[in-house]
Structure 1
Amino acid sequence: MRDFSQHDEEKDQELDELLQRYENLRKGRSSSYLEEEAFEKIIEYFESQEQYIKAFQAVEIATEQFPYSASLLIKKADLLLNRRQYDEALALLEQAAIFDNSNIDIYILKTEAFLALDRQEDAVALLNEALELFEGEDRVELLFELADVYDDYEDFDKVFDCLKEILQQEPDNEEALYKICFWTDYTGRNAESIEIHRRIIDEYPYNELAWFNLGAAFQGIKLYEKAIDAYQYALVIDEKMDYAYRNIGDAYIRLRKYKDAIESLEKVLELSKPEDVIYEAIGYCYEKMKNYAQARFYYRKASHLNPEVGYLAYKMAFTYYKEEKYELCIKQLDTALKLKRNKAEYNILMGECKMQLGFTKEAIQYFTNVVRLKPKSAIGWEALIKCLYDAGYYEEALKQLDNAVMMTKNKPVFTYYKALLYFVMGKRKEALLHLEEALTEAPAQLKKIIQINPSMLQHQQVADLILKYKKRKSNK
């Protein structure tokens, strides 16, 4: 058995001799003759060395000697495309097609030229014409080209159609299976994807990508249990498919099975490089399970990988708030606000903490920030008005209520707040009028106001009014 290094040495020697013969021919030193195949090797060598000027010189000499060679004309067209001489390249490709219209490279290079000239419709027409001429692997290659063209001018459903056609021809085509998963999610064509992958699995039951894609399509239409089953089959075939574990984790989160989600997400960490999103997802699961210390542990791990993301500090802060550890919550919020001062959620939580600790004026300032940042959102206005109410600033609260009504297009909750404020200010008539109006518009929101001031129910007129609307509702 010959040594590979000896074989490589012989090939290098052959190439050196070929290049020497080419140099002699180029400089007119001898009457040496090069075959068409020899020119192709020389051109390919110069291209591999990124010596494109030399490659072009060689192809020009070659096409002078072999003017009817389709393969040399195609090579010259390819080099012209690199020089952005698109019209010249197209003319050469037309010429090459006269000598050999069965060469797929003619259609691929023409497509490249059309796209460069912003002639997408011509590219589509050309490729559709070529699809009638080719079969097998060549046809699959053309379908991938056509998919890229549709992607280029954002006809994404047709990208999906091309991939679907490839999988009809080659059900186990790996590239198409990878791509169709993305485009299914992007186009929302999950039902079709389910049918496509069920057919593939019938023919190739051990294709883990087909099982994974089936799971992703089920997940796309919120059939999470079926999605998990499909991913589990993919993992039986390839137990190291970390993306299947990742998606199973997401599906369990959607099903609120947080313990199961944590198990799957921990498998992702075993199989792949640690990612902040995985640590964050595990933290979220622990938060939902009310294990706030563990939630913070994972949020902190996520923040070590992505220290510029303020919302992880906010998430940690929120767990402290849930535990009524307001000073620690504020400490984390300070970090979040340094990274993103104008984030309404950070300001509202800071305001709530300041209120709980009795720093009313500071709380009002943070809530004022919120309504400045999100003037059309009722949440900030509610927080500000409730804060002013708790602090006994009733006149200021009424003034802000007028602003809230104007900015939020008269949300019924603010009519309840007006009733509440007039009630504590001793203006019973105005309070009852606003309460009746609010009960007419949104009876379900009454409980929000009663939670703030349960003593309202002890007043007979208020109780009678509420009872009247309850009866009216039950009679409907």
Structure 2
Amino acid sequence: MQLSNEEEEYNLSLSKFESMLKTNKVLFFDSEEFEEIILHYLDMGKSTLAKKALKLALEQHPKSSGLKLVQVEMLIYDDKLEIAEKLLNELYAIEPTNEEIYIQKANICSKRDQHEKAVEMLKIALEYTDDYADVYNLIGMEYLFMDNLELAKESFIKCLEEDFEDQSALYNVVYCFEFLDQNQEAIAYINKYIDKNPYSEIAWHQLGRLYYGVKEYENAIRAFDYATLIDEEFLGAFMEKAKALERLKKYDLAIESYNRTIELDDATSYALLRIGKCYEKLGNKVLALKYFNKTVHEDPLLDKGWIAITDFYVRQKNFQKALFFVNKALAIDNQNKLYWKRFAAINKQMNLFEEAEFGYRKAVEFGDYQLDTWLFWVDILQFLGEFESAIQTLLQASEYFPEENEVEYRLAGLYFMISDNIKAKFHLSNALRLNYDNYILLEDLFPVVWEKKMVRNYIDKHKKQ
């Protein structure tokens, strides 16, 4: 590929400058060459070289406003805002119509969280600039900082009207639409954008994502197909297409698309996991298991991988194998509530109730406050005859579920079991108020309590009320 004259000159300037640094010979560069050299080093994150170049540049061109503006940019980057502001005011006195002065003033305001003032500065810059797209993009970013997504969206749309190839503005427009829950409006906008720019793979990809978000999976796949036709190595589009195909239960095609992502880049644990899930849906247990194992080998910290293997064996009712894998997972991360819940459920299936109780206790300890977790735990405590512990656990659960009849019926049953009839009746009254028909829970979980005539009479009396 041949380089343009501009690129050749740019590369020569860089080589010449780096040669000068090595030999300590002072060579002459014009101010624009210096600007490009400094900005190159800034873009590369080589601030020391950028500062060296700026020092030499200002020695050779002490009156260059362009270089002074680069100096301002570097001062702002280093949070030396007062010095930068002073230098900008000096430049403003000389060149009041230089749009870059207002852009840098806006930059300072933004750094000080004065975003409204920054927008004012950028609106002045619009009066003097030839690069409207860049300024509209900056205005959009300031509105994002202010959480004014509607005005941000308008600014990014104006940016794209000036420069339809500005990909960051395109992403930001879609972000604003999505944040404002305007998915259909976003789809309409991107379709119009594509009418003018049909070869934008980014636009097709974003359109596919939007269609996926509103569950129009066929349209999503069509959009992703266009994105991959334009860019045959668009990994993200193949990944999203595979997800949409899964939603349509086209598992064979989904596997093809996931495999394409693996061909384009190293295998990701996510792609391997999804391939495994697809094979399981197709009834191919051997390949499903193979890919679940690949998933945890690729990323041992991915809990979804271990859960997939564990759940696979649970569905096969091979609880010994399921327990083996959940224990392997816990050896890697013993604070994962999802692992502990499965550990508990598997032990429960194997009638290892003390281990199951320990698992549910750990799941709650590490943040699983779902109702079924509390209830499974309590039912095991009751089975083990630990009524006081079961009551304390339920009282803790009632803080999260204050109006849950299943908690109240269990509390009533447990208090009857320890002969605390006053508290038992209080909770039974609450339970009947919340869901009268569910009194059958007492019969199922507390047959001894259900046999008490006093309890049956209390329930009947509540019905008559």
- Same fold per superposition (TM over 0.5): yes
* Mapped contact 2:343–2:356 kept (Cα < 8 A): yes
Question: How far has the Cα of 1:152 moved from its partner?
Answer: 4.7
Q: Distance in 2 between matches of 1:445 and 1:153?
A: 51
2:318 — aligned with what? 325
Q: Distance in 1 between matches of 2:34 and 2:412?
A: 90
Please report the RMSD computed on the Cα atoms of aligned residues, expressed in angstroms.
4.8
Q: Which has more radius of gyration?
A: 1
Change (3 A) 1:373 1:448: farther
1:211 — aligned with what? 204
* Mapped contact 2:403–2:434 kept (Cα < 8 A): no
* Mapped contact 2:272–2:294 kept (Cα < 8 A): yes
Q: Distance in 1 between matches of 2:348 and 2:33?
A: 79
Q: How does 1:435-446 map to 2 (within 5 A)?
A: 441-442=434-435
Q: 1:235 aligns with which of 228, 232, 235?
A: 228
Q: How does 1:47-446 map to 2 (within 5 A)?
A: 50=49, 52-53=51-52, 55-56=54-55, 58-59=57-58, 62-63=61-62, 67=63, 70-78=65-73, 80-81=75-76, 84-97=79-92, 99-101=94-96, 103-135=98-130, 138-152=131-145, 154-255=147-248, 257-287=250-280, 291-374=284-367, 376-388=369-381, 393=385, 395=387, 399=391, 403=395, 406-407=398-399, 408-415=401-408, 417=410, 441-442=434-435
1:31 — aligned with what? none
Change (3 A) 1:332 1:110: same
* Mapped contact 1:60–1:76 kept (Cα < 8 A): no
Q: Distance in 1 between matches of 2:383 and 2:219?
A: 50
1:30 — aligned with what? none
The alignment of Structure 1 onto Structure 2 pairs a total of residues equal to 441
Q: Distance in 1 between matches of 2:34 and 2:390?
A: 86
Question: How far has the Cα of 1:125 moved from its partner?
Answer: 0.9
Query: Counterpart of 1:264 in 2: which secondary structure?
Result: helix
Change (3 A) 1:278 1:376: closer
* Mapped contact 1:46–1:52 kept (Cα < 8 A): yes
With normalisation by structure 1, the TM-score equals: 0.72
Look up the equivalent residue of 1:190 and give its one-letter code.
N
Determine if the alignment matches structure 1 residue 38 to structure 2 residue 30.
yes
* Mapped contact 2:109–2:115 kept (Cα < 8 A): yes
Query: Counterpart of 1:358 in 2: which secondary structure?
Result: coil
Change (3 A) 1:310 1:235: closer
Q: How does 1:7-22 map to 2 (within 5 A)?
A: none
Query: Counterpart of 1:307 in 2: which secondary structure?
Result: coil
> Which residues of structure 2 form unaligned runs of 5+?
42-48
Query: Counterpart of 2:215 in 1: which secondary structure?
Result: coil
State the identity %. 24
Change (3 A) 1:309 1:89: same
Q: Distance in 2 between matches of 1:353 and 1:159?
A: 51
* Larger displacement relative to structure 2 (52-61 or 241-250): 52-61
Q: Distance in 2 between matches of 1:447 and 1:321?
A: 29
With normalisation by structure 2, the TM-score equals: 0.74
Question: How far has the Cα of 1:248 moved from its partner?
Answer: 2.2
Q: Distance in 1 between matches of 2:248 and 2:403?
A: 36
